[in-house]
Chain A
Amino acid sequence: MLQLNAETVHTCRDTIKRLSGEDVSRCFQCGKCTAGCPVAIDMDVTPNQVMRLAQINGRERVLASSTIWLCLSCETCSTRCPADIDIAKVMDTLRKISVAEGYPSPEPAITGFHRLFLASVEKYGRLNELELSIKHNLAIMKPTKDIRLAVGLFSKGKINPFGGKVKDRERVKKIFAESQRFVKVYPESIEREAE
């Protein structure tokens, strides 16, 4: 049972607006986002339901959903929304909030992949594909998953087995530090940390 009350009913909408500039209250539930979404079929909450729940502060359900992690950021929805809402951006924002508030991910393989990806970029300034694949496949306990593909890619020179590094790694560090500022503009997450 979702309790609606004057104090909190707009909280989720307002947070999303503050973080992304997108106003979910513009959504009138036509369902076009869901209709076009390539992964909606596998989502536990459809994109239009995400928008609706965000409108009425059904935040727990949204932030714990697999939907926000399954979203591919393909932006099909954003391109087609008649209310001109950038739904993909809203999804991205919800992912940020979900992480900042420490919601356990219902899709650990996907969130794990994101983390490994970012760790690689932070370390080298660019992606080390080989390292990422090995680490990811070990994490999901399918170490031999991409071996056949890898052979082909190696032989065609598509993957550098030694990876590479950018020169100015200090600037990469700065970018990562900057991204941490998100925590600061998001008071609820700070409050949670304080607790």
Chain B
Amino acid sequence: MKNIITIWKKELKDTIRDRRTLMAMIILPMFLMPLIIIGMGWFIEAQVEKAEEQIVQVAVENIDAAPAFMQVMDQHEKITTVDFNGNIQEAVKNDEYLAGIIIPDNFNQLIETQGKIEIVIVRNSINTDSSTAVSRIAEGVTSYNNLVLAGRFSEQGIEASILNSVVIQPEDVATEKEVGGFGLGFLLPLFIILWSVIGGQYTAVDVSAGEKERKTLESLLLTPVKRLDIVFGKFLAVSTTALISVVVALSSLYAAISIFGFGDFGAGTGVSGELNFSIDLNAVLIMFGISILLVLMFSAMQLSISIFAKSYKEAQSYIGPSYLVVILPTVLVNTLPNFKPETWFFAIPVVNAIMLFKEVLIGVYDVSHIITTIVSLLICSIIVIFIATKIYSKEGILFRD
């Protein structure tokens, strides 16, 4: 036990003195991820704002045929209409105008006879601004329709308010916590998984392949310390760095969100910047416990993989693809809409953690899910740690030239 602690302390000290590990462990999670999140939020917000503020230029063919209609259109603050003669389709295609309106010659006549009028709206669906323009035009058309109908109703002595037979009163059954948790459910699992992999990676390579490359491994094996103790000391050091980086990443994310808000990052999910969500202490404890298990599993895995390598570089090329194994299920589970996993899904390592995080974040505590996840991850970690110790007692791997 004393030897394990000696090795653990030494490896931690060693790793902290290495700029690369320090970067991966603390600096990167502290600044990079919150920056990306906030930056992304701001970017999306700016895009949405730009689209809202934009005044669209619309070309109108045959503008004199419908003065009343054009008057309504011009009242719309974010539309400017331009009289246009020529190939209107060509002009929209060339992005000279965002959209075009073609008014039929007999517009006024049809109004008077209460016939059906068809106007053509030309748009370029490749250009998103063109879509904005079309929806503005649609708004104008609706206003004009209402105006005409109101006139016709009042001619017949009917109240114009009859037009508003159905109005929408939005009401969300999801609580604020659920909405917040749902939004966070996209980010947190990814973060925890990502940093439990990245955080310990350099240390894992450094204490195994690095030690081999720098030729210190043999002198370590020459000491009376048992191989098992050596593996455990190194394993604990890797786990510690990974766990530190998970904690740093989460704290900085939490700080970033509470200071800067979510931005409109959750736009698609209905989460807005003003949301004031809080996470249960229970959820935090469960997520932390699961993170520890994940970290143990990934650390043992990385240690096993990188001891196969002869050099630092080789080890990193082995570990690189392991990101995919981790990121892929996260993205998959995140993108599946309305994914309602059955209990056996929680037996799949990594995937189970992601799904469980999502659940507890919206306040769902399913005991069978939690237990299945913990047992599955625990068994996996023990197996992987066992494999790591086996690998470290194989002389062929330690002395491969």
Asked if A pairs with B, the answer is no
Residue ranges of A at the interface with B (Cβ–Cβ < 8 Å): none
